[in-house]
A = this chain, B = another copy of it.
Amino acid sequence: VAAPEIGLAELAKRILAGDRVALARGITLVESRSAAHREAAEELLALVNDRAGAALRIGITGVPGAGKSTFIEALGLQLCEDGWQVAVLSVDPSSPVTGGSILGDKTRMERLSRHPAAFIRPSPSGCELGGVARRTRETIALCEAAGFDTVLVETVGVGQSEVLVRDMVDCFLVLLIAGAGDELQGMKKGIIELADLLVVNKADGDNRARAEAARLEFTRALQYLAGKEGAWQPPVLACSAQTGEGVGAVWDTVEQFIAQARGRGDFEVRRGTQQLTWLQTQIEEGLKELMLADPAVRAEQAEVVRRVAAGSLSPTAGARRLLAKIAKK
């Protein structure tokens, strides 16, 4: 991490001026796990906090094979052509230590990565979920500081990373494809529920009719999962990321969703709630760190967990035992 060379104030200044190299350095700093870097990262974030929240944040996930990268490239290119400054981040807690997604993303989104208005930053490798959440939120803030007005956050369709991304974006989009018969079969139930908008991709060539049938099928299935009355009912669209057909309509719908959310005040509420949830998470993490930094607690913890899981110690008594070590200070 080269940040100290130029000083944090200078780094912040360059990021705010839209300097891509400085932005990349800043992101590397927030990704670092060293304690010294962490402190520097927080200082940097404080220096650029005025711009935090400036971008429209869109989360994108999809079933495997849905063509996420192709879709993000098509959407990103259209947005860039329309004058948006687009940052693409990916969240992949499952990526191997060697950093599997980096080469993949750059290769797959080759055209977008060459566009001057786009900035692509793959997921850092080897992070657990908590670390990924922190890094992604902080990277969004840095991209906003650097003047990006759209941040697309891509996540793989597995595990809890969708929930995590849903909780840091203004609109969450789920990419689907036409399957054989049981359209929603095998999909993680939770993902669909998180969607503000669903898109059946690969509606092209021979697949067009199947995609349209899938779209109707999804639309029908979603009616069974209606939310509160008056709430946004997630629409299901179809598009072809490959030909570009329908991709513009997807963005129009995103903008409709945002406009409606802003009109109702839901937009600000969602953002405010996300901020407070994140505050809460960080307080809890910080408290646990403080607790586990205590040698007396660490000595006892494994024993408590073992006995609670086995049922020989009640969770209440276990918690009390660990907390007593702290409270005595």
Which A residues are closer than 8 A to B by beta carbons?
A: 42, 45-46, 49, 52-53, 138, 141, 182-186, 189-190, 193, 221, 223-227, 229, 271-272, 275-276, 278-279, 281-284, 286-288, 290-291, 304-305, 308-311, 313-320, 322-323, 326-327, 329
**Docked complex Cα distance between A271 and B308 (Å):** 10
Q: A308 touches which one: B190, B276, B290 (CB < 8 A)?
A: B276
Collect the chain B residues with CB atoms within 8 Å of residue A49's CB. 313-314, 317
**Docked complex Cα distance between A42 and B53 (Å):** 46
**Docked complex Cα distance between A314 and B51 (Å):** 11
B279 near A308 with CB under 8 A, answer yes
Q: Which residue of B lies closest to A274 (CB)?
A: B315
Q: A319 touches which one: B141, B227, B272, B279 (CB < 8 A)?
A: B279
A317 near B272 with CB under 8 A, answer no
Given A190-B193, A309-B275, A290:B327 Cβ within 8 A: yes
A52 near B311 with CB under 8 A, answer yes
Collect the chain B residues with CB atoms within 8 Å of residue A327's CB. 290
B290 near A326 with CB under 8 A, answer yes
Given A224-B182, A287-B287, A45:B317 Cβ within 8 A: yes
A-side interface mostly:
helix
B276 near A309 with CB under 8 A, answer yes
B317 near A42 with CB under 8 A, answer yes
A184 near B225 with CB under 8 A, answer yes
A224 near B183 with CB under 8 A, answer yes
9 tightest A-B contacts by CB? A282-B319, A184-B224, A279-B315, A278-B315, A286-B323, A287-B287, A272-B309, A189-B225, A221-B224
**Docked complex Cα distance between A316 and B320 (Å):** 28
Closest CB-CB distance, A250 to chain B, in whole Å? 23
B225 near A275 with CB under 8 A, answer no
Collect the chain B residues with CB atoms within 8 Å of residue A229's CB. 186
**Docked complex Cα distance between A256 and B189 (Å):** 24
Closest CB-CB distance, A176 to chain B, in whole Å? 12
B226 near A316 with CB under 8 A, answer no
Collect the chain B residues with CB atoms within 8 Å of residue A305's CB. 276, 279
Q: Which of A286, A305, A318, A327 has the most B CB atoms < 10 Å from its CB?
A: A286
B221 near A314 with CB under 8 A, answer no
Q: A288 touches which one: B287, B308, B313 (CB < 8 A)?
A: B287
Collect the chain B residues with CB atoms within 8 Å of residue A42's CB. 316-317, 320
B318 near A279 with CB under 8 A, answer yes
Collect the chain B residues with CB atoms within 8 Å of residue A276's CB. 305, 308-309, 315
A286 near B320 with CB under 8 A, answer yes
